[in-house]
Structure 1
Amino acid sequence: MISENNISQILEAGGKVIDSDGDKIGSVGQIYLDDHTNNPSWVTVNTGLFGSNESFAPLEGATLEGNDIRVAHQKAKVKDAPNVAPDGHLSEQEEAELYRYYGLANGFGNVEYSNGEHTSGETFTGTAGTTGNFESDRATVGHDTSGPTTDDAMTRSEEQLRVGTQSVETGRARLRKYVVTENVTQTVPVQREEVRIEREPITDANVDAAYDGPAISEEEHEVILHEERPVVAKEAVPVERVRLDKETVTEQQTVSEEVRKEQIDTDDVETTRDGRI
């Protein structure tokens, strides 16, 4: 924990501010003290070209490493924090923005700017860079009836729907090959030989052949007949390639969910003419 006694050491040695990962953010600019506890509350880091800007970093959770301050936030977080010009002042709105930015509880306490020597004439109360009391210029109106009085306003909250997507397994697809038998019918033309008797009359052209043999005799004449018959042969041949692939299809789905939100109503209270209840 960084104490008031470490401030002079840090500023005189020109200490650096390093982030939670050990990376250098910049050099120490200014340190702000809590006026009630005198504990360091904020440190500014010289950033920008030639240290022209100062980014505020909280000292809550920070540690001292030699002459350097190691804050509990990463470099990008600190460098993107609201910054002011050197020797500038924080308005109440800017300080509240810092608390919101770092996710810290609103710490409007008395703080004192320190440059190594504590000057009682520069007391910052509520908002860094302003002087006076923490109390607002106007008095708090009303008080809590459900518990201790906290402030002059009631916070209204509501639930908001955050919808995202999640990838889940819905099924599997696989390829499987199996054998089936089916009948295939094809028509094939076939030829066959048939006997046909041809008769021709005796003419001068064939009379010699007609007398080439006995006048009266018994004879047999034979002709061999042929026919074609279908012959079936089977051959396995590749016909196509089949594979699995995936494609992404986008569709719109409507999500409905109940959310709660707070409503603030005002109960009117009857009063007399002189303002008394």
Structure 2
Amino acid sequence: MRLTEQQVRSLYGQDVQDRSGAKIGTVAQVWADPAGEATWVSVKTGVMGHHESMAPLAGAGMAEGRLRVPYDKATVRSAPAVESGTEAPLGADQLAQLYRHYQLQQQEQPQRRPGAPEMTRSEERLRVGTQSEPAGKARLSKHVVTEDVHTTVPVEHDEVRVVREPITAANRGDARPDIRDEQREMELRAERAVVSKDQVPVERVRLNKDEIVENEPIDAQVRRERVDADVPEPARRRR
């Protein structure tokens, strides 16, 4: 997988997927061969503490800002690892272990041309990662509050009305003249509102946590060296 300089820089912090599309972790560091070609990345999986699993870029591809490698998640997570933040180049033994783990044919390192004057041009690479830190606590608290409730309830009560009927020839047989003091009673009933309270469950409340991934812009400055060749005009190569 040949990557441009811009693509190499964009690898840092990008998601790494296995061949089925499952997320393995994120790119932490990038290694290049002596020719400057990006060949290996370390993957921060979150399960190895201060170590990062190594994965080859051979056969990998970029899609929608994600790096997909042609291996399953278990193979990458069980690969030889490096310490987080290391700046040491990969040693011969490390490379041999990696090629054996991924069953790749180890490539010979390109040789420099003898006798030709040369210098090494260096530049700073921006290494962007993430660090988990506390962002506060979410709590559920239950408090008792009092609120006024206004409602109505129908109540019944007896009301008394006096009915007077004149004595006529039709009902005179039921009436007997009897002049004396007399008292009759009728029992009256009335309903009154009675209030009682029941405690009933009405709602279950819980806290759920979702992991949200956002792209946070990073602005930084990096230094690089520029090599200029000062060649006399007669010695310049003509095209």
What TM-score does the superposition give when structure 1 sets the normalisation length? Answer: 0.42
* Bigger radius of gyration: 1
What TM-score does the superposition give when structure 2 sets the normalisation length? Answer: 0.48
